[in-house]
């Protein structure tokens, strides 16, 4: 009798095993819940990534707009270039066209070809900006630094594109530009810096821009001097330490 009471206590007493009652959820409701949870998690991850890029100063919308504008200008320039080339080809077969008109057309074609090259460079840079992480880019970069002899003896033309990175596009870059020319004159090595202290066009070397700026200009050395290399240095504010440098060898 006592043994039977102990068995009843184990089955229905405090030490009896617990029984859990669960509601059976249909399988399609469980999958619907999983889909809603995954969609919400994906939306949160995308928002966090986009917020991080905006916090770093990279506004993809502005870059895409500039890229679209550059593509539009490039298409317009190519269309005008095609039209002028057709006129020039037709003019070549007409002896009645004056030589001055042909020279004017040729000059316009050369100008548009240069503009076409510049726009293609801008497109490449903008596309690189869209596909790269702005937080890993340098604060200031120099692209397409080129130096070539100009019309007059001893005169050289330079051009470059300056670009700020995404981490500082929320403010303007202010600074100055300096050219260091290494050359050989009368059998001796010499160095010249531009702008010179007495240069009236020194203001052309001042910089103030937010996203990017194309810089072009000329400098002169002695007509018989042989330029070996040209280095460009970009300084920010009143700092004496260059923020970015690049060198072109001509020798």
Span 155-164, pLDDT tens digits = 999 999 888 8
Residue linked to tokens 């006592």: 2
Q: Is there a single domain that holds both residue 32 and residue 123? A: no
Scored b (16 or more CB within 10 A) or e, 13-37 reads eeeeeeeeeeeeeeeeeeeeeeeee
Q: What is the mean pLDDT of residues 105-124?
A: 82
Q: Is 241 in the same domain as 142?
A: yes
68 and 38 in one domain?
A: no
Residue 94 per-residue DSSP state: -
Whether residue 88 sits in one domain with residue 45: no
- Domain end point (choices 114, 132, 150): 132
Q: Tell me the pTM.
A: 0.53
> Does residue 51 sit in the same domain as residue 70?
no
Question: Domains in the chain: how many in total?
Answer: 3
| pLDDT per residue as tens digits for the range 70-110 | 888 888 888 888 888 888 777 666 656 667 777 888 888 88
- Show the domain range for 183: 138-249
What number is the average pLDDT over the span 177-185? 94
Residues 243, 220, single domain; the answer is yes
Same domain, 147 and 203: yes
């Amino acid at each position: 009798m006592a043994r039977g009471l102990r068995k009843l206590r184990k089955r229905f007493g405090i030490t009896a095993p617990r029984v859990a009652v669960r509601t059976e959820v249909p399988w399609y409701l469980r999958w619907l819940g999983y889909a809603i949870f995954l969609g919400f998690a994906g939306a949160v991850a995308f928002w966090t990534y986009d917020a991080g890029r905006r916090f770093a100063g990279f506004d993809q919308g502005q870059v895409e707009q500039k890229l679209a504008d550059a593509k539009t200008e490039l298409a317009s320039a190519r269309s005008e270039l095609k039209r002028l080339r057709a006129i020039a080809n037709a003019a070549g077969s007409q002896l009645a066209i004056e030589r001055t008109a042909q020279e004017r057309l040729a000059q316009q074609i050369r100008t548009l070809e240069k503009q076409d090259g510049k726009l293609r460079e801008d497109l490449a840079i903008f596309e690189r900006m869209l596909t790269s992480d702005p937080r890993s880019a340098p604060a200031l970069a120099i692209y397409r630094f080129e130096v070539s002899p100009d019309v007059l003896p001893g005169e050289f033309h330079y051009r470059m594109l300056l670009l700020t990175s995404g981490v500082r596009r929320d403010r303007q870059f202010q600074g100055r530009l300096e050219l260091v020319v290494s050359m050989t004159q009368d059998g001796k090595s010499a160095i010249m810096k531009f702008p010179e202290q007495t240069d009236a066009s020194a203001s052309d070397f001042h910089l103030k821009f937010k996203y990017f700026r194309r810089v072009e200009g000329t400098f002169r050395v002695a007509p018989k001097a042989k330029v070996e290399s040209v280095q460009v240095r970009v300084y920010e504010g009143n700092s004496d330490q260059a923020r970015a440098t690049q060198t072109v060898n001509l020798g």
